[in-house]
Structure formats: C-alpha cells, structure tokens
Amino acid sequence: SFIAVLTPPEAATRYFGFYELTGKATAFLGPALVGTLTLGAAGGLAESQVEPEIARGLALDMGMLAIPGLLLVGLIALQRVKEPTF
C-alpha cells in the first residue's frame, strides 16, 4: 500500500511493474542465498572436528542468517525513501 501512496497516477504501470520485477528477483535471490550459505557452512564444518549432527544443524542455522540479512538490506534501502506529505 505504501507504493500506491508514492506512485504518481501517470506512472502507475511503470512503478508497479518494477515492484513486480523486484518481487520476482527476491523470490529467487532469497532461497539461492540461503542454499549457498548453508552449503558453504556445511563444507567448512565438514573439515572440522564437530560431530556430524551438530555440524548439520550449525550449517542450517548459518544459511538462515540470510533472511535477517536481506531484511536488514531492505530496511536500509527503505530509510532513504521520503514519505510524501499531503
């Protein structure tokens, strides 16, 4: 709903098209980043002296760190948006 407030009526299709495009990109980027971090952490922990079950859990936890990271990037980007006054 915030994008509807920000969008000028004459450019609504352009703004909502870009909004849809970013939604499609993040729908791919999030799971890819989670998988990459999990796989990287699993590879690093496989060489350590940690028990396999604990290493698996730690690798999954490391992968899930992508979610707050993406939320933080979105929060930082949203701080630059000026809310219009009416």
Q: pLDDT (tens digit, 9 = 90+) per residue, 1-57?
A: 888 888 888 999 998 999 999 888 888 888 999 999 999 999 888 888 888 889 999
- Residues 57, 33, 1, 72, CA torsion sign: positive
User: How far is Cα of residue 20 from the mean position of the Cα atoms in its chain?
Assistant: 15
pLDDT confidence tier of residue 86, bands split at 50, 70 and 90: low
Instruction: Let me know if 2 is exposed, middle or buried by CB neighbors in 10 A (0-12, 13-18, 19+).
Output: exposed
Q: pTM to 2 decimals? A: 0.71
Res. 64: pLDDT tops 90: yes
pLDDT of residue 7: 87
Res. 84: pLDDT tops 80: no
